Structure 1
């Protein structure tokens, strides 16, 4: 991985906006809420003869496919990440900041709350172990916790490469996004032709970087300069192509299934989402300025990563408490996907959102505090970023256990140390209040 400083002259992009786009911020907040709701509704808890059983409630159901069309928001999230990231990087460059300062700030914004969360989870798993909880239940909890961490690793990679990709966008915007999209499609073709499912995980880079790159076109005004008819046609064509791929069995109509590993179907979803966003952006921004909407947006904006990192531990705690309560009282839990199960979903979802919000309030400081000023170099930053990525990948590949949590904590600590912001002139801009308010 190479982190470079792009030229200071900006020739193909529009000047950075003077103020935040509240409509985009509101849409990002909705995406975060959508992720919490999706994961919450997929949690299934029952009690069998051998004890508690924790399952994915959506497995083998008919409702997950249509629901995924509303709650599969990750493509849009990466488009927004590209939009916000490019504008933040441009503002930093105008103030004299560097690519090193930008990436270091992103590393701290993403990994500082993560190291605390992983430490708490590791401690919780250790306490469960000494308390005599069956090893298979502990392993399930560690696996469920680690699943959403793919986003942290991929988003960190995309943001670390943003200065390099931004420079490429300035030189050749269409060739850059075209090359990334072709690479994503090629991975799908090779995966299908060879039968090697592992090849699909290459798209953890290509699919999400393509969608981030699409956000650059939204940020520099290229999409807004197109006529409304062209934008609507692009969105419609993407949606039609998506339906055709479903009809011919190329991709699953369950958009959640297209995320592990990611497929090029998500690129079509991203184009359709971006088309809708561009067509309704002014209306969205007006709506986002309403007091209650703005309050919701403001709450989530400064806690985006904290909410994402803590919503799964909250759900695991809710699932464990439900199982323990059922065992202690003899209460019969409704079968998954039954009428009784669905009747309890509104209360379950509301509780998940409320508890996640409370936890986020308690731990926001780990996300919002400025990165410590120190000396850094490009080489140290590259090594530090890779160290953090390896720590996250470790939890994904081997599962979260006491041992893997300790190793991941050590690797992320090294990442934060090596990625400390430079005290060189101009680099401190990345730790300014304005930069800190840019959500990861």
Structure 2
């Protein structure tokens, strides 16, 4: 990258209220891509033994090109870094410290999560009471929990953002290089030892590196590069991916590279970020058009609600599809058959519409203002740890009625810890 002063200012926002239209449109497209990708992976069949729910992408060739088009998580974290850095710098200018900033982020992330997980536990209880086989209830809980990894990792990234942004402002290249190098070391250790569990260390290093890349975008450093330099970054990243695929270092299925995360995602993030910068102008102009503007205005205040609720919606639609097939005795097309592909446009339209309707009705939860932030780093740090522990428990143990209740209790504790203490009579008198 070219030498730019560490405190270079971000590109001027292009929307009222200080928002960046290109970033908001990219975020809206990313969240839409996540819903589409997960919807494509839903497979429903009915056999003599009853309904069966499978991952429709298992053993198929189409998941590879689809993952190249829709694996947007690296860009999601880059956008998170851009937005977080921009928001924190504005808050810092108003006198808000890092503790207060992180407390607000915890509230924005965990309050809608508490509602979603509580509702999921209630739905699982209703399924069990209705006599749904226990293995299907367990599978539903497992599928619900799978996308929650993003919530846990994003919470950690945002909790560390003030400290990492200060480090970026002092040593931008060294800070991101250290994270990328740590991710590469983890990959090498996993590949040489065969211990897949080592790869989960990259839940920190890979995604923190992508957030750090977002800081460069917020500084204006990437946009300051020549178009030729940015194009070379894209070409180099894609070439690195091609080499890693052909040499067997990484799977060409980018979905497989997310669990655990691999350094292939770093290359994807670099390519996506450089492409975003190259096409930032056209994206800004596109964002002003009616349909893209409507998508952005819908998704921006509801991004976390859409993410948290899209899987329950997909599971509900899959269950209704199976129930309708059982009641009507109408056969369902075999997964990956020609008939199945013909039904995908309708299925995707239904999935996106249903997710949008649910998000519209539940978005007020995400919009609730955060209470007075605690001025205790210990309280806010505890909140981040407890919130992350709640998500980790669901990922490891799966979601059941019991684990959902425990998670709700932990999330409630985290939210209480992150808020300021209630004003006492003495504080009111001194105010």
Q: TM over 0.5, yes or no?
A: yes
Please give the alpha-carbon distance, in whole angstroms, between the structure 1 residues aligned to 2:86 and 2:11.
Answer: 6
Contact kept? 2:10, 2:217, Cα under 8 Å: no
Please give the alpha-carbon distance, in whole angstroms, between the structure 2 residues aligned to 1:37 and 1:21.
Answer: 24
Q: How does 1:283-322 map to 2 (within 5 A)?
A: 283-322=282-321
Contact kept? 1:145, 1:313, Cα under 8 Å: yes
* Residue 241 in structure 1 maps to residue 240 in structure 2: yes
Partner of residue 128, structure 2: 129
Alignment RMSD (CA, Å): 1.4
Please give the alpha-carbon distance, in whole angstroms, between the structure 2 residues aligned to 1:100 and 1:374.
Answer: 8
Contact kept? 1:13, 1:170, Cα under 8 Å: no
Contact kept? 1:306, 1:360, Cα under 8 Å: yes
Residue 191 of structure 1: how far off its partner (Å): 0.4
Q: How does 1:60-139 map to 2 (within 5 A)?
A: 60-139=59-138
Partner of residue 413, structure 2: 414
Q: Greater helix percent: which structure?
A: 2
Residue 296 of structure 1: how far off its partner (Å): 1.1
Residue 160 of structure 1: how far off its partner (Å): 0.5
Partner of residue 206, structure 2: 207
Residue 292 of structure 1: how far off its partner (Å): 2.4
Partner of residue 224, structure 1: 223
Q: Encode CA deviations 1:68-115: one digit per residue, 9 max, x unaligned.
A: 110000011111111111000000001111101110111010110010
Partner of residue 398, structure 1: 397
Please give the alpha-carbon distance, in whole angstroms, between the structure 1 residues aligned to 2:197 and 2:141.
Answer: 22
Residue 126 of structure 1: how far off its partner (Å): 0.9
3-state DSSP of counterpart to 1:379: helix
Aligned residue pair count: 415
Residue 376 of structure 1: how far off its partner (Å): 4.1
Q: Encode CA deviations 1:26-81: one digit per residue, 9 max, x unaligned.
A: 01000000000000010000011211100000000000001111000001111111
Partner of residue 369, structure 1: 368
Please give the alpha-carbon distance, in whole angstroms, between the structure 2 residues aligned to 1:356 and 1:401.
Answer: 22
Match of 2:9 among 5, 10, 14: 14
Please give the alpha-carbon distance, in whole angstroms, between the structure 1 residues aligned to 2:403 and 2:122.
Answer: 12
* Residue 348 in structure 1 maps to residue 343 in structure 2: no
TM-score normalized with structure 1 length: 0.92
3-state DSSP of counterpart to 2:221: coil
Residue 291 of structure 1: how far off its partner (Å): 2.6
Runs of 4+ in 1 over 3 A off after TM superposition: 15-18, 421-424
Please give the alpha-carbon distance, in whole angstroms, between the structure 1 residues aligned to 2:357 and 2:226.
Answer: 44
Please give the alpha-carbon distance, in whole angstroms, between the structure 2 residues aligned to 1:279 and 1:192.
Answer: 34
Residue 151 of structure 1: how far off its partner (Å): 0.4
3-state DSSP of counterpart to 1:14: coil
Partner of residue 430, structure 1: none
Residue 422 of structure 1: how far off its partner (Å): 7.7
Residue 420 of structure 1: how far off its partner (Å): 1.1
**Structure 2 runs not aligned, ≥5 long:** 424-431
Residue 13 of structure 1: how far off its partner (Å): 3.5
Partner of residue 4, structure 1: none
Residue 365 of structure 1: how far off its partner (Å): 0.8
Q: Encode CA deviations 1:346-372: one digit per residue, 9 max, x unaligned.
A: 110000000000000110011011012
Residue 17 of structure 1: how far off its partner (Å): 4.1
Residue 144 of structure 1: how far off its partner (Å): 0.3
Please give the alpha-carbon distance, in whole angstroms, between the structure 1 residues aligned to 2:381 and 2:277.
Answer: 35
3-state DSSP of counterpart to 2:101: helix
Contact kept? 1:16, 1:91, Cα under 8 Å: no
User: Structure 1 residues 158, 50: closer, same or farther in 2, change over 3 A?
Assistant: same
Partner of residue 257, structure 1: 256
Please give the alpha-carbon distance, in whole angstroms, between the structure 2 residues aligned to 1:342 and 1:249.
Answer: 30
**Structure 1 runs not aligned, ≥5 long:** 1-9, 425-440
3-state DSSP of counterpart to 2:46: strand
TM-score normalized with structure 2 length: 0.94
